[in-house]
């Protein structure tokens, strides 16, 4: 205070007072500079993190609208802001794969329209090899490949059951009487009559033909819904036929929601389709694998959104749910491996 400084002037000389005052001001300046320097990196880091998350959010919105180039551009900007981020690297890789698969799928459809089945199948195999984890093109690639394989199957020639139209030529040959053949007998135990060797041997009856119900389930497991529906109707399975109609609606609508990345609607419909699939075919076949793959994709997508919104617990739960339906889901495995140990608890 002023009073204290006046008393200090009285008891000290003029030079000592100025020296103490200068020292006090210098200490204040040094402390303020240290505080400013220590606060600056944290502010800069938080600013970069906000920009990175903004680019990621914008890129995910472009992915939902299938705008691959814009999504790749946003993810590359995010990678420049945080080059060591595994999340940004995986998102950028998935976007690049999606763009390549979209190009290959367009080419395969053109070849399919021209009925060039072999070239179409080769292109689809390349697209399948480049499918990203959680790809929205997976279902389209699989269905087109299945249709192309059916076109490539060689049909067996029909075997006529009628006798040949031409008659064989009769050639007069000298007649020789056939030798008399006696049946072979084997001696059994003493004081018993001999038993022919062919006794007791019976031919096995041919297996019965499959029933319409078995054929319907086989067609359902193979993915032929129309044929399965016709066979269930032929077998008078009205209850199963009702389930099949409900399954067809849930599966197709859920697949459309999956392709547009509408995760909330897709999960609800696909879970219903999975339950109906167990009732119809016992959970085995083509549809069960496809539904589980799509559910894993949707849970992984929700996990990414929760991670962007800084909800680590929700993200962790969604990634674990994705692994329940597909234990080899690459994106979920990468995200779980990149999470910190304290967030796993």
- Give yes or no: residues 31 and 121 share one domain: yes
Q: Position of tokens 């890129």?
A: 59
Would residue 321 be called left, alpha or beta, if left means φ above 0 and alpha means ψ between -120 and 50 degrees? alpha
> Which among 344, 328, 325 has a CA at the least distance from the CA of 336?
344
In a domain, 180, yes or no: no
Mean pLDDT by 10 residues, the chain (345 residues): 53 57 69 56 64 84 81 85 80 83 87 86 84 71 79 52 50 57 53 52 69 82 84 84 89 86 87 90 84 90 85 89 89 81 44
In a domain, 267, yes or no: yes
pLDDT at 341: 52
Q: Which of 115, 132, 149 is the last residue of a domain?
A: 132
**3-class DSSP state for residue 185?**
strand
Q: Are 19 and 26 in contact (CB under 8 A)?
A: no
What is the C-alpha to C-alpha distance for residues 100 and 8, in angstroms, rounded to an integer? 81
In a domain, 66, yes or no: yes
In a domain, 108, yes or no: yes
Q: What is the domain count for the chain?
A: 2
What is the C-alpha to C-alpha distance for residues 221 and 165, in angstroms, rounded to an integer? 43
pLDDT at 42: 52
pLDDT at 163: 47
- Give yes or no: residues 230 and 110 share one domain: no
> Which among 134, 139, 140, 138 has a CA at the least distance from the CA of 301?
134
Torsions phi, psi of 67, nearest 5? -100, 85
pLDDT at 156: 39
pLDDT at 270: 92
Tokens at 52, concatenated: 């990175």
- Give yes or no: residues 216 and 340 share one domain: yes
Q: Domain range spanning residue 287? A: 210-345
180 burial level (CB within 10 Å; 0-12, 13-18, 19+): exposed
Confidence (pTM): 0.51
> Which among 25, 85, 24, 96 has a CA at the least distance from the CA of 55?
85
Q: Which of 81, 109, 132 is the last residue of a domain?
A: 132
- Give yes or no: residues 110 and 223 share one domain: no
In a domain, 331, yes or no: yes
Helix (H) or strand (E) holding 343, with range, is helix 341-344
CATH no. for residue 243? 1.25.40
Kindly report the length of the chain: 345
């Amino acid at each position: 205070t002023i009073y204290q400084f006046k008393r200090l002037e009285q008891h000290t000389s003029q030079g000592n007072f100025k020296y103490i005052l200068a020292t006090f001001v210098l200490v204040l300046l040094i402390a303020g500079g240290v505080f400013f320097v220590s606060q600056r990196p944290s502010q800069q880091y938080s600013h970069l993190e906000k920009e990175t998350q903004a680019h990621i959010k914008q890129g995910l919105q472009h992915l939902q609208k299938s705008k691959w180039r814009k999504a790749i551009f946003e993810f590359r900007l995010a990678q420049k802001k945080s080059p060591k981020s595994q999340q940004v690297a995986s998102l950028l890789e998935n976007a690049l794969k999606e763009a390549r698969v979209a190009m290959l799928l367009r080419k395969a459809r053109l070849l399919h329209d021209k009925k060039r089945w072999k070239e179409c199948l080769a292109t689809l195999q390349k697209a399948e090899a480049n499918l990203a984890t959680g790809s929205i093109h997976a279902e389209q690639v699989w269905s087109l490949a299945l249709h192309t394989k059916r076109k490539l199957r060689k049909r067996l020639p029909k075997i006529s059951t009628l006798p040949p139209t031409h008659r064989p030529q009769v050639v007069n040959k000298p007649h020789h009487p056939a030798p008399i053949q006696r049946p072979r007998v084997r001696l059994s135990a003493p004081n018993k009559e001999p038993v022919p060797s062919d006794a007791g041997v019976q031919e096995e009856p041919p297996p019965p033909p499959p029933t319409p119900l078995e054929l319907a389930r086989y067609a359902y497991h193979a993915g032929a819904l129309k044929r399965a529906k016709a066979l269930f109707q032929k077998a008078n399975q009205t209850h199963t036929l009702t389930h099949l109609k409900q399954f067809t609606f849930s599966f197709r609508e859920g697949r459309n929601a999956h392709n547009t990345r509408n995760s909330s609607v897709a999960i609800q419909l696909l879970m219903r389709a999975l339950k109906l699939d167990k009732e119809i075919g016992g959970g085995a076949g083509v549809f069960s694998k496809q539904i589980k793959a799509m559910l894993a994709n949707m849970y992984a997508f929700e996990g990414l959104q929760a991670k962007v919104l800084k909800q680590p617990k929700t993200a962790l739960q969604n990634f674990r749910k994705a692994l329940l339906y597909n234990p080899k889901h690459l994106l979920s495995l990468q995200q779980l491996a990149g999470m910190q140990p304290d967030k796993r608890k």
